[in-house]
Amino acid sequence: MFETLSDRLSGIFDKLTRRGALSEADVSEAMREVRRALLEADVALDVVKSFTDKVRNRAIGAEVVKSVTPGQMVVKIVHDQLVEMLGSDAKPIDLHAVAPVPILMVGLQGSGKTTTTSKIARRLTERDRKKVLMASLDTRRPAAMEQLKILGEQNSVDTLPIVPGQTAVQIASRAINAAKLGGYDVVILDTAGRVTVDQELMAEVAEVKRQTNPHEVLLVADALTGQDAVNTARAFDEQVGVTGIVLTRVDGDGRGGAALSMRAVTGKPIKLMGVGEKSDALEDFHPSRVADRILGMGDIVALVEKAAANFDADQAAKMAKKMQKGEFDLDDLAEQLRQMQKLGGMSGIMGLMPGMGKMKNQIAAAGFDDKHIKRQIAIVQSMTKKERAKPALLDAKRKRRVAAGSGTDVSDINKLLKMHRQMADMMKKMGRQKGGMLGKMLGGLGGGMPNMGDVDPAVLDQVARDAGLGGPDALKNAMKGMPGGLPTGLPGMGGMPRLPGLPGLGKGPKGK
């Protein structure tokens, strides 16, 4: 969502950081460009004015003028002000109340209230180990209650039984009583929406709030609607009173102005953001991390959290034992590719790494495409169990069968097999090094990213070619201009942070 704004700001700050000294005129010119970039991103005018004034006042002070790196000091000041504008600290959903804790979901029709309700319920159930009850109060939209019931079944979350003819207030009261009798920790009330804010909607929500006394009133706002989302938030807060905001469709191509304006205009914290359609595509809103992403600094913490969330201890232990024996078959390769997919694919991982935002064009030119991952998994899945365990069995006839089954060519099968052989050789080499590669790989939670700097660069380039990522030096050429200081581990880019619980994951990215 912040891609365009991030590109604009990166260009502005690149000019500043290249200069050895900054004058007041330089800072003023940069602030004018920042102002235009924020306005184009649909940030509210009063928010933009306040932001640029604060940055300018700090940037023309002694701390920048006398700094050894004045351009970088300006970037730091902008980062700090972005964090302040977004709310400084993360504010998770507050459950510190007597059970069952009522949470009231409000918002306009089409903003994603019902889907977000189920996402929050699943999150509280799986992550916080809470017993959750969901109830739909939408008596106007025919399929609303049925939709929530289906989502509840899909995510193993209980929903209040549907009783035709009841009003929203009656359903809410019944939900609270059912939650008390059923020993639930949390009850989430999904209210009806409207196309626009109207008095009837506000009156109904206000009455439900009076009857249920919710501990949290969460406004669900569509980030793609820009300033309309900000106006909606202001209206709901003034007439009903909200305690927090959930931004949906943050993964879309919106300009980001709503997210940057929401906290400053309403004074209410953004607590969560929806980053996809899947039921687990919900993230805590961390102002400092969002500021990092906007300024192209990546989000290593989010990357590590994703890795930890997808960590399978049993799978890691099995992989560790096989690697110690120097074993690495096609099932192992497919598992590593699936781990890549869970982390968002190659593009998802790189998007969270510092400095990678500026390099997306070079990466695309080198042929990095997450479709390769799906294609290669399909090839492996088209093989028999024996063929996956012993790739040597794959003669010309078997390869033609696998190609037909996976919708690929025999040449693709050959590339995958060649890449696998080279990776298997690396695994054997790593397994023989006492306290070396294998020891590093199996550290922490049972795994981590190996430092691939110890592997012959020629081998890595060959792996890249066989994976369909371009010719010799494709990886290195894609990473030209990579900023220094990045941790080591991923081939061709100088490295990647150690991620817990993913032994051998370096094999996946290496071929992608």
The answer to whether the annotation marks 248 as part of a ligand binding site is: yes
pLDDT band at 171 (very low <50, low <70, confident <90, very high): very high
Q: What's the whole-model pTM score? A: 0.62
User: What percent of the chain is modeled with pLDDT above 70?
Assistant: 68
The answer to whether the annotation marks 263 as part of a ligand binding site is: no
Q: Phi and psi for 190 in degrees, rounded to 5?
A: -95, 105
| pLDDT surpasses 90 at 187 | yes
Q: Residue 121 has what pLDDT?
A: 95
pLDDT band at 198 (very low <50, low <70, confident <90, very high): confident
The answer to whether the annotation marks 251 as part of a ligand binding site is: yes
Element (H, E) at 133: strand 132-136
For 274, the token pair is 């929806």
| pLDDT surpasses 60 at 507 | no
The answer to whether the annotation marks 191 as part of a ligand binding site is: yes
DSSP state letters, 179-229: HHHHT-SEEEEE----SS--HHHHHHHHHHHHHH--SEEEEEEEGGGTHHH
pLDDT one-digit tens code per residue, 40-54: 888 888 888 888 888
Average pLDDT over residues 61-77: 67
Q: Residue 137 has what pLDDT?
A: 93
362-394 in b/e burial notation, b at 16+ Cβ within 10 A?
bbeebbbbbebbebbbbbbebbeeebbeebeeb
pLDDT one-digit tens code per residue, 21-39: 677 787 788 888 888 888 8
Q: Kindly state the DSSP code that residue 283 receives in the 8-state scheme.
A: E
Helix 45-59 vs helix 24-40: crossing angle, to nearest 10 = 160
Alpha carbon dihedral 62, 63, 69, 75, in 10-degree steps, equals -120
The answer to whether the annotation marks 147 as part of a ligand binding site is: no
Q: Residue 372 has what pLDDT?
A: 75
| pLDDT surpasses 60 at 311 | no
The answer to whether the annotation marks 109 as part of a ligand binding site is: yes
| pLDDT surpasses 80 at 461 | no
The answer to whether the annotation marks 112 as part of a ligand binding site is: yes
From residue 458, give the alpha-carbon distance in Å to each of 333, 438, 482, 492.
20, 21, 20, 11
Q: Residue 306 has what pLDDT?
A: 54
* Domains in the chain with CATH codes: 3-86 (1.20.120.140), 101-297 (3.40.50.300), 303-510 (1.10.260.30)
Q: Order of strands across the sheet with 101-106?
A: 158-159, 132-136, 186-190, 101-106, 216-222, 244-248, 270-274, 282-284
The answer to whether the annotation marks 83 as part of a ligand binding site is: no
The answer to whether the annotation marks 199 as part of a ligand binding site is: no
The answer to whether the annotation marks 252 as part of a ligand binding site is: no
pLDDT band at 359 (very low <50, low <70, confident <90, very high): low
Evaluated on CA atoms 448, 453, 455, 457, the torsion sign reads positive
> Could you give the CA distance from residue 118 to residue 274 in angstroms, rounded to a whole number?
12
Q: Residue 41 has what pLDDT?
A: 82
The answer to whether the annotation marks 256 as part of a ligand binding site is: no
Instruction: Name the 3-class secondary structure at 496.
Output: coil
Q: Are strands 282-284 and 270-274 parallel, antiparallel or unpaired?
A: antiparallel
Task: Count CB atoms within 10 A of the CB of residue 88.
Answer: 13
> Could you give the CA distance from residue 327 to residue 432 in angstroms, rounded to a whole number?
12
> Could you give the CA distance from residue 404 to residue 27 in angstroms, rounded to a whole number?
61
Q: Residue 312 has what pLDDT?
A: 59
The answer to whether the annotation marks 190 as part of a ligand binding site is: yes
Q: Residue 153 has what pLDDT?
A: 94
| pLDDT surpasses 50 at 435 | no
CB 449 within 8 A of CB 505: yes
Q: Residue 261 has what pLDDT?
A: 81
> Could you give the CA distance from residue 110 to residue 98 in angstroms, rounded to a whole number?
32
Q: Residue 361 has what pLDDT?
A: 56
| pLDDT surpasses 90 at 136 | yes
Q: Residue 430 has what pLDDT?
A: 65
Average pLDDT over residues 440-452: 39
Task: Count CB atoms within 10 A of the CB of residue 105.
Answer: 26
The answer to whether the annotation marks 125 as part of a ligand binding site is: no
Average pLDDT over residues 313-331: 70
> Could you give the CA distance from residue 82 to residue 74 in angstroms, rounded to a whole number?
12
414/71: higher pLDDT = 414
| pLDDT surpasses 90 at 501 | no
Lowest mean per-residue pLDDT among 200-214, 381-395, 417-431, 464-478: 464-478
> Could you give the CA distance from residue 328 to residue 464 in angstroms, rounded to a whole number?
18
> Could you give the CA distance from residue 226 to residue 255 in angstroms, rounded to a whole number?
7
